[in-house]
Amino acid sequence: MDVLTLLGQMLNTTLVFSTALIFAALGGIFSERSGVVNIGLEGLMMFGAFAAAVGGYYAQDAGYAGMAPWIGVLCAMAVGIIGALIHAVASITFKADQTISGTVINFLAAGSTLYLVKLLFEGAGETPLIDGFYKYKVPLLSEIPVLGPGLFNSYPTTYLAVILVIVVYYLLFKTPFGLRLRAVGEHPSAADTLGVNVNRMRYIGVMLSGMLAGIGGATITLTTTGTFAHNTISGQGFIAIAAMIFGKWNPLGAFGAAVFFGFSQAIRNYVQQFGWSQDIPQEFIYMIPYVLTIIVLVSAVGRSSAPSALGQPYDPSKR
């Protein structure tokens, strides 16, 4: 295989792996920008992956084969929002510690999804295999050498993710809604004084994060695995959190970080094709992205720029 074809393929695989991380990291940004820590992204992705597999299966069963993956995505959004609501009620209304209630989401998701899979499919350990999305070639653009097969022959969800990055950026930094959301995460009492309903904004932020993380989980079942099992989501939610922090809670930065992590997953599949890789133990190649992340963080100037009210429940009676 010549180098250019290989490069195109690697680019393509990178995008496949990054898609779920982009969605989930964008979700994390909504939640944390509003001041609510979301360690539950992993669980929310699990809810989404499960809902997509089950929704997609029943839609396919009912004869809507073409629409089935999209119905799966809708189910994932809905279930993601419901999961996030648990987090919101506990951490915003009842002022529970946000880290704890996020961990609760991870537990409830791991428990309830597998419990339901066994209940719905007669004790099976995973959902029946479904077709999922097919790659879509963008006319003309996909003819460009290297970049064409790399970028413009992807799953519809990948295009959606990239578009969403720009939409979220615009929403956060160019609209009144975004300003309010960020204000609530930076200085809730000031925002409150100016008439912003702090808790409502936070509810919206957390629910959006549930929706997006849900879609992120859905893309994994609908493009990669085709089923939902106990190991469908294994750490992607935490990588998404890392991507969000790495990207300094900015959609564009998170996008870059997500692609970086996606690339590191893709490189595993291709590294055997290079001659020099035979001399390096495979584990060291697997380690590269994680080591690089730390090195980049060390050399990057400036401290991490988390929203200043992150993690604090809003209590108007406190100053």
Contact positions toward another protein, by CB under 8 A?
86, 89-90, 93-97, 99-101, 103-108, 110-112, 114-115, 118-119, 123, 231, 234-235, 238-239, 241-242, 245-246, 281, 283-284, 286-287, 290-291, 293-294, 297-298, 303-304, 306
Q: Which is nearer to another protein, 50 or 155 (CB)?
A: 50
Min dist CB 318 to another protein, Å, is 10
Do 213 and 41 touch, CB atoms closer than 8 A? yes
Instruction: Count CB neighbours of 262 within 10 A.
Output: 23
Min dist CB 142 to another protein, Å, is 34
Tokens 């904004």 found at: 201
* CB environment 20-59: b (16+ within 10 A), e (fewer): bbbbbbbbbbbbbbbbbbbbbbbbbbbbbbbbbbbbbbeb
Q: Which is nearer to another protein, 53 or 245 (CB)?
A: 245
- Cα separation, 45 vs 247, in Å, equals 20
**Which neighbouring-strand residues pair with 154?**
136
Q: Which is nearer to another protein, 147 or 271 (CB)?
A: 271
Q: Which is nearer to another protein, 166 or 297 (CB)?
A: 297
The total number of residues shown for the chain amounts to 319
Min dist CB 117 to another protein, Å, is 8
- Cα separation, 109 vs 240, in Å, equals 17
Min dist CB 103 to another protein, Å, is 6
Which residue in 104, 23, 56, 33 sits closest to 227, CA to CA? 56
Q: Which is nearer to another protein, 46 or 73 (CB)?
A: 46
Min dist CB 123 to another protein, Å, is 8
Min dist CB 91 to another protein, Å, is 8
Q: Which is nearer to another protein, 64 or 115 (CB)?
A: 115
Q: Which is nearer to another protein, 66 or 235 (CB)?
A: 235
Min dist CB 6 to another protein, Å, is 24
